[in-house]
Structure 1
Amino acid sequence: MTAALRRLDPPFLSQQLRAAPAMTRPLMLDIIAHACRRVPTLAEGKRPARIMRLIDVEAWADAALALIELELPMWQVRRIAYDEGEWHCALSRARELPDWLDAAVEARHSDLALALLSALVEVRATDVPRPRVPSVPPVLDPLYAPLTCDNFG
């Protein structure tokens, strides 16, 4: 298990986000410190500087969307909806799929930024890093030969 995964405590972060009535600067910095892997490693880049500027001007929803874009490049916002006093946010790896085929991660909160960050924390809790290449190369059968079965008659 990597150090980044060891320091992530999803139940604690989820409870902290659920209990918060509104987004604050200390809460945002705490989420960045505990749930974000890329922001600390890219400390002097343009994207983390943009996120810090958004935090400084208290543009919480924009900062949350920028964090999702930076931290979860394979995930996209599938749905943001406001219903009965709560924001519902769904993140997905394949948002072009129909809802019933997609395994989206959903979160909700009365504050939009907290709903977005709750979804980010849930993805971090459930997302297991996958290797980019197969760990074992496939072994081809020496007797294997491609066969064409065309019938033009």
Structure 2
Amino acid sequence: MWFKHNQERDLRSLLARIEAASAPTGDLVAEILRRACPRLQGAQKPNDPVRRLVEAEAWVDLGFWLVGWELPDWAIHRLSRDDSRWNCAICVRGLAINWLEDVAEFQHDDPALAILGALVQAQLRKVQGPTPSNVTPFRRMERGEAHPVNNDAER
């Protein structure tokens, strides 16, 4: 429970830093990679695409790549600009967007920070509890078991 509380606090702090920033910086992006990208941190070897995107300061492309890597069952639903602010919304692929909890949104003056903020917002939702998903759990079948048997069908 304490670990979850610390993660939530760290992600909220990171969201505040993103909101306060006027543009992406190497330090801010490094913090996002460290605090909001557990799959990237768990990778066994250094990730060349991330390194190349960071070196090129291709922040928008990095944001798109990270959403695909960190949230494989989520997709960018909308990236739009309204009244000088960019709005990025990401949601679980294949789910109808009817509920507030189906979407992680973030607004910022900078498009890259809007994307990265939405990524952090989605990670925060995952820490806070179950999020919608279209990924079905894997169930190991025992040897000799062809298909689960429905006993009700025999009656």
Q: Which TM-score bucket, shorter chain as reference?
A: 0.7 to 0.9
| Aligned 1:4-43 pairs, distance under 5 A | 6-7=6-7, 9-43=10-44
Aligned mates of 2:80, 2:3 — CA distance in 1: 35
Which residue of 2 is the match for residue 132 of structure 1? 137
Large movers: runs of 4+ above 6 Å: 2-5
Tell me the matched-pair count: 139
Q: Percent identity?
A: 28
Aligned mates of 2:85, 2:108 — CA distance in 1: 5
Higher helix share: 2
Larger Rg: 1
**Deviation string, structure 1 residues 35-55 (Cα, Å, up to 9, x no partner):** 11111222525xx21011111
**Deviation string, structure 1 residues 100-129 (Cα, Å, up to 9, x no partner):** 457211111001111111111111111247
**Deviation string, structure 1 residues 129-152 (Cα, Å, up to 9, x no partner):** 788258xxxxx996x3357xxxxx
TM-score after normalising by structure 1: 0.76
TM-score after normalising by structure 2: 0.75
- In structure 1, list runs of 5 or more residues that go unmatched: 135-139, 148-153
Cα pair 1:105 1:122 within 8 Å, conserved: yes
- In structure 2, list runs of 5 or more residues that go unmatched: 140-148
Aligned mates of 2:87, 2:50 — CA distance in 1: 22
